[in-house]
Structure 1
Amino acid sequence: MRTLGEAVLPRSGPAAQGVDASGIDRFVTAVAALSDAELHSLMVLRHGHVVAEHWWPPYEPGTPRLAYSVSKSFTSTALGFAVDEGRVDLDATVLSYFPELDAEVTDERSRAIRVRHVAAMASGHDGDAFERARTAGDGDMLRGFLLTPPEHEPGTVFAYNQPCTHALSAIIQRISGGSLTAYLRPRLFEPLGITRTGWTRDPQGREIGFSGLHVPTEAIAKLGQLYLRNGVWADRQLLSPQWVEEATRAHITTGVPETDWDQGYGFQFWRSRHGYRGDGAYGQFMLVLPEADAVVAITSQSLDAPGVLEAVWTHLLPALTADAPPDRVWTPGTVPLPGPAADGLQPDRTPLTLRPGTGNQLPGLHTVQVVTGPDEIRLREGDSELAAALGAPGAWTTTGPLATASAWAGGQLHVDVIFVETPHRLHLRLDPAAGTFEARWETSPLGDPPLSELRVPR
């Protein structure tokens, strides 16, 4: 049994680990200047120590949040344990783990897809086969993936293909007889002290693998540190160094016209201009930087992921290898994320029940209510209702998985709703005179899930 001390990342001032704290400031400032990027959390590790960490309110350190495709690197780690234990063979075909599908899968290329091919996003398909696989399998993505013939020989072309990772997840769950989380718990989560997790499941009950993992930022940083140390955690070899090397080297060229997406792809890891990374939609990053003996974990709401990485290379990476001033510490500001702006005029507060207006972008959201004493906002979607205390102007009020801030402007009530277990923010504009509301996403959740599912899976 591991002790608590072994699971805690030690903290240190930046200068003690040779880090120039002013470079961290410059990185944060550079990202803030981007029009389509918003940091939610940042952890910087060097020489195994946390030298900088910050969460922008209403985001908090212990809250698990959706990592999007950083989930893939956790799924890859599960594969690594299974390979190290001799339970999965990289050169076996995917089909061999599901003999019940053997009679159905007749295409020779589908039958030839190996585990190493799906690990490297090289199944032979031209692009993401997500929708085709879901349709072909009547909702069973694993079956549909094997029933969707690749256009090319497996192992010859790269395509970022969600069913590839789902196949890895399905294999782990087949050989273990349990969930992906259950397999990782004694091997990864418990040794690293990762206690708060949730993972989205498919209709067959499988954790989907390619996305859907909810973990705190520190869990992302810890996984990066495990790989940086070649599979060692607290003097214990959890993963073999052979797996770390195999998973993080380039197995196939990607041909993606963005510099940091054109360095090759490993086993569910992207190669970068510097080191390698786990990479999730809207700017979720686990950056492993062997040249600096460093790890950077970032959660954000960013459409400009290349801009965020450029800021890392321009400002943060040099700070990690600089001669640091001996007395410089990093003291981040405490300013929360901005909310709606008020114009100073606030009508008398009265209960409101509003219907969708012509500018509403969420067709499933059919009613918004504001009640008073205490102030609360309620969102009705289908048969479900989300309720949260209504935050004041310039401040966030958190109620479970929701945080709100509100302000009156131009006779309308503007409410921002942050789903704090995800990267996403919903903008609401309530018009009492017209009896209507308009809703739009700052960034749209992938897959268009119901609002009630924008939280850690239960």
Structure 2
Amino acid sequence: MASSEARRRDRLARMGTSALPRSTPAEERLSAAGILGFVDAVESGGLELHSFMLARHGRVVAEGWWHPYSADRVHMLHSVTKALTATGVGLAIQEGLFALDDPVLAYFPEKAAIAASANLRAMTVRDLLTQCSGHDRGTSGSQWRSITTSWIDEFLRIPVPHVPGTHFQYSSATSFMLSALVTRTAGVPLHDFLVPRLFAPLGITSVRWDIGPESINPGGNGASATTEDLLKLGVLHANKGMWNGHQILSESWVEAVGQGAPGRPYGLHWWALPGRPGFYAFGAFGQYAFVLPEHGLSLAITGAVPGSISRPDVGIPPLVWEHLPKILAGPDADPDHATELADRLASLLLSIAPPSVAAGCAEAIHGVRFEASPNEPGVVAATVRFDGSTRCQLVLETAAGTHAIDAGLLGLCVEGETTLPGMGLHHGYDPGRLATMAAAGWSAPDTLTINCQYVETAFRDRFVLTFGSEHLVLERTVNVNGGTTSLPAIRLRRWP
């Protein structure tokens, strides 16, 4: 217990004054055993989490990161970004920049020639926030991410067959238009708009947000933040918009955020499912910010959960709802539960190193260049180099350049970074440079497996390299994705 408490104090000291206050489950009338039961259920269910932070009344009572994820790393939030966008819209409305029932197109008069549809002209800010824009198909962020021309024009070209306000259709396109609206009326990107109004008052310093054409943040995705900064957004909403005695968001706005309706499981850009407590932001692959104002609870989670990309009600949420009564049961009679929880959360581990069951052919293939015929992933050549018995480096040449991944051997993990593009495996994201933690092992004398965790995202690639006397077969797969999770195997020839 002493060692885990010392680590906690050291981390808080490094974070400085922006950290949320810390407490214990008992002090906040919660059950440590109930929290531990939730963690057990997540792991026994095979659900991969990367971080977990629970607060009551703004005080953190439990927190943990599955190594190599850590408190100081940001994590890609995917559609949890929509909660930031909603907050920016709420603040803009408070400042009178526009109103909930204003037509969206009133702020883009130069687009009148594109916006010929009566339904499109009738679409309001409220319709965007509630995902009742009138569209009958959703737009994923990955669909627009590679488009370099106006995304506003892309939005206006989407058919609007339904009268706005009458049909629910989840879409990141509506979130983008909300961001565009703030940018149009405030004169700055949404991220910059939020800095003095939200980020600075809450001590949020970690948010990174992609920027698209016309200097507009995507709105529906593209943001990354530390788990604690995400939790702060939940704490603000759990406290009805109040922060350290200051009303940041109006109480009426926060109440509206969490109010869904029959046929519309969405409040104001937060999920509010009928019959479920509170409301929450949900991002693909297992990113969450839960808000339970009735109990003063807020919960932030990041992870990599297959199958959860478009289903906000599968994976983690059912476990939260199942274990919530146990967590709220009150302090445990047995004080050992608190010690057990603290020790457990201080020793969480995500296993990256592949099993190594054989001595490999490192000496025979060290530094050998293998060239590929034209292939769909665009790999030109591959080389593996070994640094003694404990490290190796995979070098892939593509049309975009030469990229390397450093990995440990014999159960060791190596931290680094890579420029290797996702090539369609990372939900359309290719940020240019990715932080990595990678490990390799010989699954057979001729087969090297490299697992590469991109530790600021949900993604983990597996490279399987099978060597012959004159060739190499390269396979690449990913743990989660919005599309395919594997690329076609590539056969490369030894050169010269």
TM-score range, shorter chain: 0.7 to 0.9
**In the alignment, what sits opposite 1:347?**
361
Cα deviation code 1:48-98 (max 9, x no counterpart): 211111111111111112100000000000000001111121111111111
Q: Which amino acid aligns with 2:269?
A: Q
1:334 to partner: Cα distance: 1.9
Distance (Å, rounded) in 1 between the aligned partners of 2:332 and 2:351 = 32
Aligned amino acid, residue 309 of structure 1: P
The question of 1:420 aligning with 2:455 is answered yes
Shift, 1:389, TM fit:
2.4
* 2:385 counterpart (364, 371, 387): 371
SS in 2 for 1:214: strand
Q: Aligned pair in 2 of structure 1 residues 31, 366: CA closer, same or farther (>3 Å)?
A: farther
Q: What per-residue deviation string (whole Å, max 9, x for no partner) do you get for residues 298-322 of structure 1?
A: 1010025413222222224421343
* 1:384 equivalenced with 2:401 (yes/no): yes
Deviation sequence 1:148-179 (CA, Å, 0-9, x none):
33111000010001111110000011111111
Given the superposition, is the C-alpha separation of residues 198 and 430 from structure 1 closer, same or farther in structure 2, using an over 3 Å criterion?
Answer: same
Aligned partner of 1:408 among 442, 450, 475 = 442
2:284 maps to: 281
Counterparts of 1:77 and 1:118 in 2: how far apart (Å)? 14
Aligned to 2:320: 312
1:337 to 344, 350, 371: 350
Partner of 1:265: 266
**Aligned residue for 2:61?**
51
1:218 Cα deviation after fit: 0.9
Question: In structure 2, what is the equivalent of residue 257 of structure 1?
Answer: none
Q: Is the partner of 1:407 in helix, strand or coil? A: strand
Aligned letter for 2:244? A
Counterpart of 1:211, as a letter, is N
Counterpart in 1 of 2:37? Answer: 26
Query: How far 1:391 moved relative to its partner?
Result: 2.0
CA offset at residue 352 of structure 1? 4.5
Match of 2:332 in 1: 324
User: Structure 1's 23 and 197: CA in aligned 2 closer, same or farther, altered over 3 A?
Assistant: same
What does 1:55-454 align with in structure 2 at a 5 Å threshold? Answer: 55-129=65-139, 139-251=149-261, 253-254=263-264, 264-272=265-273, 273-305=276-308, 306-325=314-333, 327=335, 328-329=337-338, 330=341, 331-332=343-344, 334-339=347-352, 340-349=354-363, 350-354=366-370, 363-373=377-387, 375-400=392-417, 401-411=435-445, 412-433=447-468, 434-444=471-481
1:300 and 1:380 map into 2 onto residues whose CA distance is 30
| Structure-2 separation of matches of 1:79 and 1:425 | 34
Q: What is the SS of the residue equivalent to 2:408?
A: coil
CA distance in 2, matches of 1:213, 1:382: 28
Q: How far has the Cα of 1:251 moved from its partner? A: 5.0
Shift of 1:267: 1.1
The CA distance in 1 between the partners of 2:436 and 2:250, in whole Å, is 40
1:453 is matched with: none
**Against the structure 1 CA distance between its residues 55 and 352, is the aligned structure 2 distance closer, same or farther, given a 3 Å change threshold?**
farther
**Cα distance in structure 1, aligned partners of 2:442 and 2:71:** 31
- State whether residues 287 and 303 of structure 2, in contact with CA within 8 Å, keep that contact through their aligned partners in structure 1: yes
Tell me, yes or no, if the aligned pair for 1:301 and 1:443 is still in contact at 8 Å: yes
Q: Partners in 2 of 1:295 and 1:62 — Cα distance? A: 20
| Shift in CA distance, 353/205, structure 1 to aligned 2, threshold 3 Å | farther
**Aligned partners of 2:18 and 2:59: how far apart in 1?**
12
The question of whether the paired residues in 2 share the 8 Å contact of 1:124 and 1:153 is answered with yes
Larger displacement relative to structure 2 (379-388 or 418-427):
379-388
- Return closer, same or farther for 1:27/1:143 CA change in 2, 3 Å cut-off: same
Aligned-partner SS, 1:44: strand
Q: Contact 2:231 / 2:299 at 8 angstroms: preserved in 1?
A: yes
Hey, what's the Cα distance between the residues in 1 that align with 2:362 and 2:17? 56
- Which piece of structure 1 moves more, 236-245 or 341-350? 341-350
Structure 2 Cα separation of the partners of residues 431 and 229 of structure 1: 55
Distance 2:326 2:142 in 1: 44
1:330-361 superposed Cα distances (whole Å, 9 cap, x missing partner): 22252521121111434344235445699x9x
Partner of 1:261: none
Q: CA deviation at 1:237?
A: 1.0
Query: Aligned in 2, Cα 1:225/1:146: closer, same or farther, shift over 3 Å?
Result: same
In structure 1, what is the Cα distance between the partners aligned to 2:32 and 2:185?
47
Instruction: Describe the SS at the equivalent of 2:85.
Output: helix
- 1:123 deviation in Å? 0.5
Q: Flag the 1:85–1:382 CA change in 2: closer, same or farther, 3 A.
A: same
Deviation at 1:431, TM superposition (A): 1.5
Identify if the C-alpha distance between structure 1 residues 279 and 152 changes in structure 2 by more than 3 Å, giving closer, same or farther. Answer: same
Question: For the structure 1 residues 132 and 405, does the alpha-carbon distance in structure 2 shift closer, same or farther, using more than 3 Å as the test?
Answer: closer
Identity %: 32
The residue number in structure 2 matching 1:10 is 21
**Distance in 1 between the 2:121 and 2:284 partners?**
31
Give the total of aligned pairs.
432
Q: 1:365 to 1:84 in 2, by over 3 A?
A: farther
Q: TM-score, normalised by structure 1?
A: 0.87
Structure 1, unaligned stretches of length 5 or more? 255-263, 449-458
Q: Which moved more, 1:51-60 or 1:364-373?
A: 364-373
Greater RCO (CA < 8 Å, at least 6 residues apart): 1
In terms of mean alpha carbon deviation, does 191-200 or 115-124 score higher? 191-200
Shift of 1:410: 1.2
What is the one-letter code of the residue matched to 1:322?
Answer: G
Q: For residue 8 of structure 2, what is the aligned residue in structure 1? A: none
